[in-house]
Chain A
Amino acid sequence: MILEATNITKHFGGLKAVNGVDLRIVPASIHSIIGPNGAGKTTLFNLITGAITPAAGTVMFDGVDITGWSPERLAKIGLARTFQRTSVFRNLSVLENIALAIRSREGLSRSIWQSVRSEEAIAAEAMEILGRVRLRGYENSKAGALAHGYQRALDIAIGLALKPKLILMDEPLAGMSRGDRETVAALITSLRSALGVTIVVVEHDVSMVMRLSDRITVMQHGQVIADAPPAEIRDNEAVRKAYLHGSFAT
């Protein structure tokens, strides 16, 4: 397992946002997490990536106990994420958004001198990553000026620039047109095959999730109600109930 979360728990006041969740992620897999709004998916991501500290439970990443680690420390050992609400450096150029992540990965963020050669090498790598997410041609635009779908792609590209072993994407397809969703879905599949990166995705579009995933975890009320390959999830009684309650967004 590349990621193994055991009995992860976080309560907000009386609300059991995440309540004793177990999550096991196989290396180089695409693993989706689905569930109604408020099920605790984003909170689970926040707990794994260090944005908030779990009240109970442990998280193992690549054989290391990372429970309670800060996001910056986790980023350095290859755990990246994207955000449900797109999070980019809006007033910086698209290229600089990527370059920041590359410099961070290379441990250059604090230097006050950089050779032209290293700067060019970073720009070249950034262009390659932009090519991967189909943002080439926009490198000089301000990130905030990009269309919504492109900003989401940039958010993913920033994560990729860290050369992560595992990337968690919180609703990467949200708010996108049909065409853009297909593009990003294809991107996610290609990332796994080309880079061997493990991907955990939160997504509402169930048919998309069925096609995309090797395995699916279903959450409801802060708990895991099912965890199985797509075919089994389709036939799962508890999951069907969640559908019938109509609480899945489409």
Chain B
Amino acid sequence: MSDHTATMPMHAAADRRMKGLALLVAAAAGASVPLWTGNVPFVLILASQAVIAAIVALSLDLLMGSTGLLSFGHAAWYGFGAYLTGLAAKMLTPEMLLLLPLTVAVTILLSAIIGFVLVRQIGKTFAILTLALGQIMFALVFVMSGITGGEDGLQGIPVPTALGFQIAKPAVWYWLLYGILLASLAGAFHIRRSPLGKSWLAIRENTERARFIGLDTGTLKLLSYVVSASLAALAGGLFALFNGAASPDMLNWFESGKVLMYVVLGGVGTIIGPVIGAAVFTVTEHYVSSVTNSWLIYFGGFFVLIVIVAPGGLFGAGASLWARITTARRGASA
């Protein structure tokens, strides 16, 4: 028994180095997108949308993948961030260094209040209430159509500035969004390895046991909910400023469902999986939907297939394949 545990740290270190290298290469590849799409601004815009979708998926994974809480209404916070930022940009200032912190601060407050009620519900009730929350936010856009623009969406959001400089060029936008994605990823990985992240995982694993070792599961779940909501709202705010408009579709259950699918497809709790899942499927969705109107059928079918054959998501499947290959190689060399 102790034989192979003693040698494990070495393999683990080598594995970590490989993974670090792979992440670095992937990060660099992502950052290089504007360099080779320079003359096709449309591709860059699509890539930017993929990055935003990735941030939203990451935000949901911070909830689902950490504490195991299943949200069917995550678009509520994405859309809330978009409308709040858009409205503030129109009424107060186009300075995003004020707008985005404002959006995050308001979301922290509101999601703490709503989350306080939600996280005290168990399992199914929580999921159903999140769905209801999404639909309430959706309905609010229509109820307050005087200021939100109702069905037409919120139009005429001014071009934002950062420290007074206008952010308008697609490449600048892309790098800005991409930088925020990388920072969020780094934050998510850091939290995962921190005591807080480990306490979250304990809740996902076994909430009852967690309570009996003294973990305040209510507060911990609330923290995870607030972090998740705030990041989703930040992504929504970024989208509104990037796009110059927000639409009620952003709040719809359909949007929530899509984000949920990205996370499941990518691999719940893997952090990087949902990010890749969201990016890949945003791009795929664009091209496939321009070819056929029934892309949703293919997407749904693919989703069902993945859930059945690779319940750990694409990233989970990839990781276990990788583990099998490396152990086979190790076995051969030993």
Contacts and interface: CB of A to CB of B under 8 A. Distances in A.
Contacts of B212: 49, 51, 71-72, 75, 80-81, 87
Interface in A68-108: 70-73, 75-76, 80-81, 83, 87-92, 96, 99-101, 103-105, 108
Contact of B194 (A71, A112, A137): A112
B202 A140 contact: no
Contact of B195 (A51, A89, A111): A111
Contacts of B194: 111-114
A109 B209 contact: no
Interface string B186-209: 000011001111110110011011
B201 A110 contact: no
B2 interface: yes
A30 interface: no
Contacts of A162: 213-214
B158 to A, nearest CB: 36
B215 interface: yes
A122 to B, nearest CB: 9
Contacts of A88: 206, 209
B220 interface: yes
A158 interface: yes
Contacts of A70: 211
Interface in A33-51: 49, 51
A99 to B, nearest CB: 8
Contacts, number: 99
Interface string B130-172: 0000000000000000000000000000000000000000000
A227 B68 CA distance: 44
B198 A72 contact: no
The range of chain A's interface size is: 35 or more
Interface string B4-46: 0100100000000000000000000000000000000000000
B199 A112 contact: no
A92 B213 contact: no
Contacts of A96: 198
B25 to A, nearest CB: 28
A20 B107 CA distance: 49
A87 B190 contact: no
B208 A109 contact: no
Nearest to A161: B213
A161 B202 CA distance: 15
Given A109-B199, A110-B223, A112-B194, A104 B215 contact: yes
A103 B205 contact: no
Contacts of B2: 137
A88 B205 CA distance: 9
Nearest to B1: A137
Contact of A103 (B195, B208, B220): B195
Contacts of A214: none
A89 B209 contact: yes
B5 A140 contact: yes
B206 A89 contact: yes
Given A75-B212, A89-B206, A137-B2, A111 B8 contact: no
A105 B214 CA distance: 7
Interface in A171-224: none
Nearest to B203: A89
Nearest to B212: A71
A139 interface: yes
19 contacts: A71-B212, A71-B214, A72-B211, A72-B212, A75-B211, A75-B212, A75-B213, A75-B214, A89-B201, A90-B205, A103-B198, A108-B195, A110-B223, A112-B194, A114-B194, A114-B195, A138-B5, A139-B5, A140-B8
Given A72-B216, A75-B212, A100-B199, 13 more contacts: A51-B212, A71-B211, A72-B212, A75-B211, A88-B206, A89-B202, A90-B206, A92-B202, A96-B198, A100-B213, A101-B214, A137-B5, A141-B5
